[in-house]
Structure 1
Amino acid sequence: MEMEPQKFSIAVDADHKATQFRPLSLSSPHMRAFHLAWLSLFSCFFSTFSIPPLLPIIRQDLNLSPTDVGTAGIAAFAGSIISRLAMGPACDLFGPRLASATLSLVTAPILLSAAFISSPLSFILLRFFVGFSLANFVANQFWMSSMFSGCTVGLANGVSAGWANVGSGLTQLVMPVIFSILNTNFNLSQSTSWRAAFVVPAIFQAMMALMVLAYGQDLPDGKYRKHKKLPNKDSNDTGVFLNGITNYRGWVLGLTYGFCFGVELTMDNIIAEYFYDRFGVNMETAGVIAASFGFANWVSRPTGGVVSDKLGRRFGMKGRLWGLWVVQTVAGLLCIWLGRVDSLWGSVVVMCGFSFFVQAASGLTFGVVPFVSKRSMGVISGMTGSGGTVGAVVTQLLLFSGSTKFSTETGISLMGVMMIVSTLTLTTIHFPQWGGMFCAPSFDHQDYHPLA
């Protein structure tokens, strides 16, 4: 493997992608891109999930019914589905830096429009359009896959997305504090306070977008547009899209991701209410439990990336696929168990185990994604990322919409069954040069070493 230490401060491969991962470094371009990517996505998670913690006040102020609140939650995920599908091709065409920053700058003012909403419909529309910002997840993973080599891309993807997902937990704690400060220290009314509180996440998101534009770099060797003009670069954008959308591996990974990350999103929506209703804890305690579920991403998703890379180095693609299947299946079993535990502390313990495995499965999924198609990596990332939000919508509608006959605890257990069944589709994935879970490679490709 060719190294060029004279040009980069970190070891790289022949494509100048980093073969080392140093999260405490700010070296350009690899580690700087990493920190910009996760902080930018962190701000998007913080913005999107800044609304649920203030729902008790918003619901009262806008006279929202339980159906309105549920519809708004589904709308947020629906917006994310559409935008994630579009973000993949956008990254392929314009690069992750420009695509990410543009979306953040467009959606930040939408969050500020909360100051003007006055009806259930306007609230639902607000959540729908704010949810678009979660498409930055696709740009995040695309960027990491452009900067890090196969031997460390799983770790880079896992840590970048895992640290960013902590934003969904932190906002559960921070937004009520911001509201309280505005309401008590500045003597603002409750209605004015919750509206003004959204200035903080909106400004944070816009500032991170500007930093991505100012200090980010798409590729180790420069800007993405310049790279696309090179003679050996495929310029058929339609072909890139079709190549990705017709790759069945992307659809399989989208399905499995729908029942790991999609389940995680669903739990973010229901877990506080579940503990409040079933075990009679107060709202503050339920909020802390819900926040801890999101905080687990700090270590769980990166761990999934580390496991994927280690299994890849030792067993090749077969190791990555088997690792994903085992971890997600264990998560499904814990999800079934969570719905059946009838004690508070027992449920908290099982929830902690479940949160670790379901989030680690997301990291393992994106340990496989970069190998599906180098040519259409953005499209594949978009398909997989969209699968996560589709899974959230499906589980929310089928099991937790309020119109089903299932109790919440039964719905949680059934969600675990869906996780286990969906993960079985991984057995159909086969790469000609690497094989699959049960099959050997279709041909001998001795000169290709993707995991070295």
Structure 2
Amino acid sequence: MPDFKLKTDENSKATELPLIRICGTVEQNPHMRAFWGATVSFFLAFLGWFALAPLGLEVATSMGTCENQIYPPVEHPTRLAYLKFKSLKTGEAYCQYGIIKNSDDDPIDCAEVPYPQNTTGTAEEKKKYRPSILSSCVCTAGTNCNHIIANAGVAAVGSTIFVRIALGNLLERFGPVNVQAGLLSFGAFWVAMAACISAPWNYTVIRFFIGCVGATFVTNQFWCSLMFSPNIVGTANATAAGWGNLGGGVTQIFMISVLFNPMIDSGIDPNTAWRMAMIVPAVLFVLCAVTLKLLCWDTPMAKRFDVAVMGKTKKPSLWDYVEVLKDIRVVVMIMQYSACFGTELAMNNQLATHFRTYFQMDAGDASALAGAFGLMNLFARSLGGIASDILFKYFGFRGRIWAQFLALFFEAIFLFCFGLVDNTQPWYVALAVLIFFSLFVQMAEGTSYGIVPFMKKQQLAVVSALVGAGGNLGAVIAGFAFYKPISDPLLPFQVHAAYVLFWTLLTPCYYWKEHGGMFHGPAVEFATEKAENTA
């Protein structure tokens, strides 16, 4: 046996997770090299994946798709987006003297200037419309601009579904290091190409291909499952993925406050500044891919992965997916993951624009609030994995299932509460609810992958891939079914909460004879065998 730097079990998997013990050669410490390789690569992938989200209004302006660019207010004064517009900072409305509505209560025009303002008022008081108070880029819900951004956001998470599914076989054929380095190299090209966006069609196409790097999550979880023992795998998976997901929060702040705003302050044109900012994550992708190839192994004992490590004797095939999907428990897990990780992806696409349009915040403040959601990954997803491992220690597998149920349940509650926070309330109310919502979203992601490694051990790669794809499926469902078609700024969050709650209530479907279920322990023969092994 090699002289590992970590304590290991009989399969050479680490039984501990000392985060800063990174010393030693790759032969001595493959576990922590894999952990940090998985974490950093997924973090950077998230950074590039959602780099365009906080820059949405700048991109829209460059493409000329803002409502007030396509329909100048002077020529089209009765556009619905204008009639409903009100400045939260000044309290002034586009319609100075109120709105005229039809029989269906829909705005159709601004009210006429009343007497005596229409005769003795100032020039400003005689205005029926006030286009000067409109935002520089009107991109509110229901506008063409908003639909373009929403479609591109769906494309960015939709492409990852297919790549994540494909990784079930690709990981078994080529191993985690090769797959991760390949995804980052492919993503680097498309992130750099984002600097060339000029129209809605290529904006959507480029976000679609950038979305492929989101599949790095599957490698992240599969790689950690190969390196860490069952007693610590929930914590290892949750921490690696959580700190990777942290990139979703960091990118909201990094792209605006670290790259875009300083460029603007130095005198660079906004259209040029956001394009230059996109080059940075592309370069980081390439550097990370090279580092993985040079410094990491696939498994504790071998540089390259072999399916025999999982006790699998057959070569990987597409039929593996069919076999796995026959299991209703896997299907429920896929959809529950769509309700937690899918929700996080949807929020990464929606929050910055929501705060900038509905709450009329400037780019820096909006990105800070949106970033707070993702920054909870610093500890929240790890907390879910830790809770899963602790409850497993004291209550057996039933503890992991209850941890999953409770995290999803409170996620649904706080998502619904977030959908009740309107723009008449202070921003810190939205932030407070957002923090609790984010806590349970990310805990649910951690508890999910506390269960995944035990579902079908010989098909770990395929199960990890399908469940991971479920997260992106959830984001696509949310984008198309909740956020795109519903023009109300708050109702989509409430409907999304109902979706989360529905899948939460199917948690009792989890039952295995050898593990037990939510309300039952393992079958008698398995419980007896476990007791004898413990004795």
The TM-score range, normalised by the shorter chain, is over 0.9
| Among candidates 339, 348, 354, match of residue 259 of structure 1 | 339
Equivalent residue, structure 1, for 2:151: 71
- 2:252 and 2:163 mapped to 1: Cα distance? 24
- Equivalent residue runs for 1:132-147 within 5 Å: 132-147=212-227
TM-score by length of 1: 0.92
What 5-or-longer segments of structure 2 have no aligned partner?
Answer: 24-28, 66-144
CA-to-aligned-CA distance 1:338-381 (integer Å, 9 cap, x gap)? 22244333332121111101111100001000111111111101
Equivalent residue, structure 1, for 2:201: 121
Instruction: Go from structure 1 to structure 2 and tell me whether the alpha carbon gap of 1:248 and 1:184 turns closer, same or farther (over 3 Å shift).
Output: same
Equivalent residue, structure 1, for 2:45: 44
Contact 2:310 2:457 in 1 (8 A): no
| Among candidates 313, 328, 332, match of residue 234 of structure 1 | 313
Is 1:22 the counterpart of 2:18? The answer is: yes
- 2:508 and 2:380 mapped to 1: Cα distance? 24
| Among candidates 424, 429, 432, match of residue 505 of structure 2 | 424
Return the letter of the residue paired with 2:329: R
| Among candidates 7, 10, 26, match of residue 11 of structure 1 | 7
- 1:220 and 1:285 mapped to 2: Cα distance? 45
| Among candidates 389, 411, 434, match of residue 472 of structure 2 | 389
Equivalent residue, structure 2, for 1:378: 461
Instruction: Go from structure 1 to structure 2 and tell me whether the alpha carbon gap of 1:340 and 1:54 turns closer, same or farther (over 3 Å shift).
Output: closer
Contact 2:54 2:352 in 1 (8 A): no
- Equivalent residue runs for 1:15-414 within 5 Å: 15-27=11-23, 28-64=29-65, 65-176=145-256, 177-183=258-264, 185=266, 188-225=268-305, 227-228=306-307, 233-238=312-317, 240-342=320-422, 343-344=425-426, 345-401=428-484, 403-404=485-486, 407-414=488-495
Instruction: Go from structure 1 to structure 2 and tell me whether the alpha carbon gap of 1:447 and 1:207 turns closer, same or farther (over 3 Å shift).
Output: farther
- 1:277 and 1:180 mapped to 2: Cα distance? 19
**Greater fraction of residues in helix:** 1
- RMSD between superposed Cα atoms in Å: 2.2
Contact 1:254 1:388 in 2 (8 A): yes
Equivalent residue, structure 1, for 2:134: none
- 1:98 and 1:247 mapped to 2: Cα distance? 30
CA-to-aligned-CA distance 1:214-247 (integer Å, 9 cap, x gap)? 111111111334x346896413312544443333
CA-to-aligned-CA distance 1:33-82 (integer Å, 9 cap, x gap)? 11111000011000011111222221111123322211101100111111
CA-to-aligned-CA distance 1:295-347 (integer Å, 9 cap, x gap)? 01101000001000111111111110111101110111111122224433333
What 5-or-longer segments of structure 1 have no aligned partner?
Answer: none
Contact 1:42 1:164 in 2 (8 A): yes
Decide which moves more: 237-246 or 247-256. 237-246
TM-score by length of 2: 0.79
| Among candidates 505, 516, 533, match of residue 435 of structure 1 | 516
Contact 2:404 2:444 in 1 (8 A): yes
Percent identity reads 31
**What is the total number of aligned residue pairs between the two structures?**
443
- 1:303 and 1:366 mapped to 2: Cα distance? 12
Instruction: Go from structure 1 to structure 2 and tell me whether the alpha carbon gap of 1:156 and 1:399 turns closer, same or farther (over 3 Å shift).
Output: same
Return the letter of the residue paired with 1:396: G
- 1:229 and 1:309 mapped to 2: Cα distance? 27
Larger Cα-atom Rg: 2
Kindly state the Cα deviation for residue 439 of structure 1 after the two structures are TM-superposed. Answer: 2.9
Instruction: Go from structure 1 to structure 2 and tell me whether the alpha carbon gap of 1:444 and 1:34 turns closer, same or farther (over 3 Å shift).
Output: same
